[in-house]
Amino acid sequence: MRIKVHFSTYILILLCLLSGFVVDVLIIFASISFHELAHVIASRCFKKKVNKITILPFGGIFEINDHQNVNLLEEVIILIAGPLGSLFLLQFEAIYHINMIILIFNLIPIYPLDGGKIFEVILCRFLNYKFVLKFIFIMSIIFSVIIFIYSIKHSSFNIALIGVVLLILNIKNYHGAEIKYWNFLNDKVLFSRKLPLKVHKRLNINNLYKGYNNVFIEGGNVVTEYQLIKNYNFNFEKKY
């Protein structure tokens, strides 16, 4: 497992040190490390390997060596583990305030915060994955702008930096949403697994749900997601 520190984190550390918050910096990163460790332990429980953790000003982003054809319940448990780790640290009075901030901030529905990812999983139960991706990234961009404007207005430049980082990440994510969806389709073909069934009445390559095995019924015929994706890829290659 590799641990990478994002450049914006170094900027935040420098700002905190210049402001005399040395002890606070140590507590913050010890708390973030514990938070991420909880994610790692939960991932291991489902035999998933964490490849990399990127430390950002607002927390960490963990990358699991796994495909996107996943069980949504497993995904939620792994995501909730981090906030539960922060919740556990609230019992220690000396670090209560900092961990409460980390806990609340991480539950804001902005991608890639835990709150944003949990909200994404909830949406995946009701909406197709392509729509969910674009919606969650647009929503995250809006919330990031709100955080930035609010923090500038209240002269909280550390939070403003976090808002900028989140904004940049989500603009990049939005432009990469199409690629992420097609990677999801490829994972559907390459890594089939037993998942709940989702039945559709009309064939549509853009209407696949994450966390389900999708089946399409049209004209009395049953078409599996595997058949639909393979046929679409064949026609795409033939066309181009």
Distance CA 204, CA 3 (A): 40
The pLDDT assigned to 36 comes to 87
Q: Does pLDDT of 105 surpass 70?
A: yes
Residue % of the chain over a pLDDT of 90: 50
The pLDDT assigned to 108 comes to 93
Mean pLDDT (whole number) for 90-113: 91
10 Å Cβ neighbour count for 35?
26
What are 27-62's pLDDT values in tens digits? Answer: 888 888 899 889 989 988 888 877 777 777 667 777
The pLDDT assigned to 214 comes to 94
Torsion angles phi and psi, residue 2, rounded to 5: -100, 145
What are 150-179's pLDDT values in tens digits? Answer: 999 988 887 888 899 899 999 999 999 999
Average pLDDT of the chain is: 86
pTM across the whole model: 0.85
The pLDDT assigned to 203 comes to 87
The pLDDT assigned to 197 comes to 92
What are 174-195's pLDDT values in tens digits? Answer: 999 999 999 999 888 888 888 9
Residue 25's pLDDT band (cuts 50, 70, 90): confident
* Domain ranges, ordered by start, for the chain: 2-186, 188-239
Q: Does pLDDT of 238 surpass 50?
A: no
Distance CA 52, CA 106 (A): 19
The pLDDT assigned to 21 comes to 73
Residue 124's pLDDT band (cuts 50, 70, 90): very high
Residue 239's pLDDT band (cuts 50, 70, 90): very low
The pLDDT assigned to 55 comes to 78
